Structure 1
């Protein structure tokens, strides 16, 4: 928009789409255009069937229009010179059908190979995930990261929990004050070096959210509220000011503030 001095941003979307469709995709090992149409993206006159010496002589739209009209006249002239019997015996239709079959075969080959590449990539990603996040045994202690917005400056970064059960790669965790309501995926916690907490230490009847636990374990008076104000935090629309709290470093980053 800056280079062309225009505000019509939507007109540039097709160029972004073209660039994405002609970019090599590591997953399918080809461009998206090739996976869809079975041939490389045709872009510009140099990628057309026109001879290069003709393309170099085309400078503007008028030259292209004149070329189209001249080609059309040549075709009409050739057609008028042929007799009806010659057209009946012509193999133009057969040639078109043959080209269409070749095109469909190429498309099917590209799509089949793309699907195979995606399945291979998914298998590799799954193997890497299993390597980075191995399964946790029931009864093992883990560390769950406290929500940044609910953690004060002096509060611990992680909460010690114990694995109570596992189903469909989702884990139910318990802490010393109750059971965490949410089921956690393997990448949301890390194994603990100690096993000081056991399943018998967890009061199962208490259901707690992680934010509630983090707030209780925090030793700071601030850190539980964060605002995203853009008007200097000067009215009651500011969450911090509404609760009579000062804005901290976790609030708005560069905007000026009157509540510090």
Structure 2
């Protein structure tokens, strides 16, 4: 906003978003941009697709716009010559002669073959290439130094280096798919790590123990109690607890950090009705008009 000398805060939202998606996320072990697009965020001309030798000659924005137009807009006659395939023109000249036995026989077939000149363009640097290397996924021609060499067991039987080369676009697409899978696995690992850290801080609650469950502000009135008394009815394999009150069984599971055990047993499991109720209904039913700490 200071550079643009404006007071419109919306102008800075794109820069804030760029800063957030470029920040390293410890949960997914990469930046959000890399998890979505499979490559690092492109900032500035150094990370653009323009060749480095061209960037050295650019000094103004007008030169940059002109260079982008020249790259994106190729003359029609040049495009036709670059994309023209091998054209073979066969001309047959047949001279028929009548033999002594009355049969016709064709002879002297002259084949005139004319091959048109071909110019193949690399899909990455947009320069002429011999066409020896092709992207494994899209099939477009690419330089060996412009492509990305990969190792895939499915293509080990294919001979030649060109069997395991990808252009930038296909390489980023493959990386994006792998990054999404790895990000999901990293989040699951983070979840387990947080669960282990939480279990170390809080001792497990025993079956039948009376616990104190805090009631959120949105679920209680001004005169309602801050806490709710419940009893541990069961413990799941994933470490979550099923709690019951004198009015019924709470319809949600609780982590160990979601309640505090009491010293005395005030509620028994046998006293819990066999019906599920939400936390708000249980808090209203147990409310006595005084704040219980």
Residue 123 (structure 1) aligns with: 192
Residue 190 (structure 1) aligns with: 260
Conservation of the 8 A alpha-carbon contact between 1:161 and 1:174: yes
Whether 2:9 is the aligned partner of 1:17: answer no
Q: Which has the larger radius of gyration?
A: 2
CA 1:85–1:184: 2 relative to 1, 3 Å:
closer
Question: How far has the Cα of 1:42 moved from its partner?
Answer: 1.0
CA RMSD of aligned residues (A): 4.5
Matches of 1:167 and 1:34, distance apart in 2: 36
Whether 2:290 is the aligned partner of 1:218: answer yes
Residue 43 (structure 1) aligns with: 43
Deviations 1:92-129, CA, capped at 9 Å, x for gaps: 74317843354444444434433332232122123234
Conservation of the 8 A alpha-carbon contact between 2:36 and 2:176: yes
Matches of 2:252 and 2:72, distance apart in 1: 69
Whether 2:8 is the aligned partner of 1:6: answer yes
Structure 1 SS opposite 2:33: helix
Question: How far has the Cα of 1:185 moved from its partner?
Answer: 1.4
Conservation of the 8 A alpha-carbon contact between 1:162 and 1:173: yes
Structure 2 SS opposite 1:19: helix
Pairing of 1:223-238 with structure 2 (within 5 A): none
Matches of 1:5 and 1:68, distance apart in 2: 32
Conservation of the 8 A alpha-carbon contact between 1:142 and 1:160: yes
Residue 87 (structure 1) aligns with: 119
Instruction: Report the TM-score when normalising by structure 2.
Output: 0.53
Residue 230 (structure 1) aligns with: none
Pairing of 1:54-93 with structure 2 (within 5 A): 54=55, 57-60=58-61, 62-68=62-68, 84-87=116-119, 90-91=130-131, 93=140
Structure 2 SS opposite 1:95: coil
Question: How far has the Cα of 1:140 moved from its partner?
Answer: 0.9
Instruction: Report the TM-score when normalising by structure 1.
Output: 0.58
Which structure 1 residue ranges, 5 or more long, are not aligned? 221-260
Residue 154 (structure 2) aligns with: none
Which structure 2 residue ranges, 5 or more long, are not aligned? 83-114, 121-128, 134-139, 148-164
Higher helix share: 1
The number of aligned residues is: 211
Pairing of 1:75-154 with structure 2 (within 5 A): 84-87=116-119, 90-91=130-131, 93-95=140-142, 98-100=165-167, 102-145=171-214, 149-150=220-221
Matches of 2:216 and 2:70, distance apart in 1: 71
